[in-house]
Structure 1
Amino acid sequence: MRDAPLRLAVFDVDGTLIDSQDFIVEAMNRAFRAMGVPLPTRNEVLSIVGLSLHDAIQRLVPGLSAPEVAEASHQYKDMFIQLRAEKGGEASAPMYPGARVALEHLHRRDEVLLGVATGKARRGLEHAYDAHDLRRFFATSQTADNHPSKPHPSMLHAALAETGAEVAQAVMIGDTSFDMEMGRAAGYRTIGVTWGYHSREGLIAAGADLLVDTYADLTAALDELWGQA
């Protein structure tokens, strides 16, 4: 029997657990090149990581028509599949230093459940799980297939429903302002990680309760927020 209340830590994937920036930027560049659309800069592409694909493309190129957005989304998916075949899949996108150790430590705690909330499609998440042997860590996995794009709180509401955790004991961990905004909208506490794709200043402005600079700092940050609940 648990002495402590059930606690939930929900992770973003791209930019938080896995450094997939090279895959994402190259797939987006190939997609726009195939359409004859001017290529966005690397920083512009990384700024939209975390959003669902449709919303991300709309932000990158606001002038595209609805059919063009749909075509760009289709092209991106095709290009990502090509890159997966060329470069060995998600295994070539490394986990951030200390990520696995942190997951293993938290997973061993009886009162802690782990989850994922990602702008990736379910297919992409399953590839990442298989490539890095991650599936066993997570009690709930929410993807863009079944929810509105971040920062809508739908994914985090579903994570609570699936795990039975109380929102007062739930924390969202991510590298973008979208993650922080989603967490706040769902009533979660939030931890921004500074090794990802958005700036420290952006994470703070989006309402991060705490920032961590390495995975070695994460457990203490979680315990601090859980202790305040």
Structure 2
Amino acid sequence: MSETPDEAVYSGPPIRLVIFDFDGTLSDSGDWFLSVIDQIARRFHFRTVKDGEVEMLRHKSSREVIAFLGIARWKLPLIARHVRGLVGREAHHIALFPGTPGLLDRLSATGVKIALVTSNSEANARNILGPDCAAKIDFYACGASLFGKAPKFRKVLKKMGIPAAQALSIGDETRDVDAAREVGMRAGSVLWGYASEAALAGQAPDTLFRTPEEILAYVAGRRG
């Protein structure tokens, strides 16, 4: 990878915008999702996930996971809509990762703009974030299809008037890296979410983040 969080000298384009994924990046929804995945599989007729397969799937790309589960592409929007409905009813079971409030607060205080691009709904994201954290997000682009984040990224960049080269996408899945690359943004991957470090590193993001503090340090060193 070309950049690391502790570089002392930086002369590239400044970071003016950070675009976060939500589930698995800011929201600790993994255990909840595993608790409902079998009922979703039965409803939409795809392969259920056995206990011993969870770790194995973390090492696969997003597209490989879809193929392994045998999910037809045409079903993905239906599944996403169903999951958003489940989250809306069970949001009280889903918490933010412990470092999320401090991360958003400190990042916002630097003057960097913050956006949220997620397949979840804005109502669900705001509910789980709570009013204080939700207020730190400058722009919401929600309801993205599973592999449709790139158009949402372009919408955010256009709305906020910030070039792709001055934006950083942060997510926890391989598809987040792919979407960022498609629009010419830098891509950072967190290691506390869904995909394994090996799977994420295989997509060659600009950097991997082990803690929220590393995100803050990375952005602070690239403010221009």
C-alpha separation in 1, matches of 2:77 and 2:165: 39
**Pairwise CA distance, 1:158:** 0.9
Deviations 1:172-225 (A, max 9, x none): 011111111111111111111111111112222212101111111111112344
> Which structure 2 segments of 5+ residues have no match?
1-12
Pairs within 5 Å for 1:75-224? 76=83, 79-81=86-88, 84=90, 89-90=91-92, 92-110=93-111, 112-130=112-130, 133-144=132-143, 147-150=144-147, 152-224=149-221
- Cα 1:7–1:78 change in 2 (3 A) is closer
Unpaired stretches in structure 1, ≥5 consecutive residues: none
Residue of structure 2 aligned with 1:31, choices 20, 24, 40: 40
The alignment covers a number of residue pairs equal to: 208
Q: Which runs of 4+ in 1 moved over 6 A?
A: 68-71
In the alignment, the residues of structure 2 paired with residue 162 and residue 64 of structure 1 have an alpha-carbon distance, to the nearest angstrom, of 33
Change (3 A) 1:189 1:33: same
- Structure 2 residue identity aligned to 1:129: L
Give the Å deviation of 1:20. Answer: 0.5
**Aligned counterparts of 2:163 and 2:217: Cα–Cα separation in 1:** 20
TM-score (norm 2): 0.76
In the alignment, the residues of structure 2 paired with residue 63 and residue 138 of structure 1 have an alpha-carbon distance, to the nearest angstrom, of 33
Q: Percent identity?
A: 22
Shift of 1:6: 7.3
Letter in 1 for 2:159: E
The one-letter code matched in structure 2 to 1:172 is S
How far did 1:10 drift? Answer: 0.7
CA distance in 2, matches of 1:200, 1:56: 16
Higher RCO structure, 1 or 2 (CA under 8 Å, sep 6+): 2
Give me the CA root mean square deviation.
3.4
Residue 184 of structure 1: SS of its match in structure 2? helix
Alpha-carbon distance change, 58 to 198 in structure 1, aligned in 2, over 3 angstroms: closer
What TM-score comes out, normalization by structure 1 length?
0.74
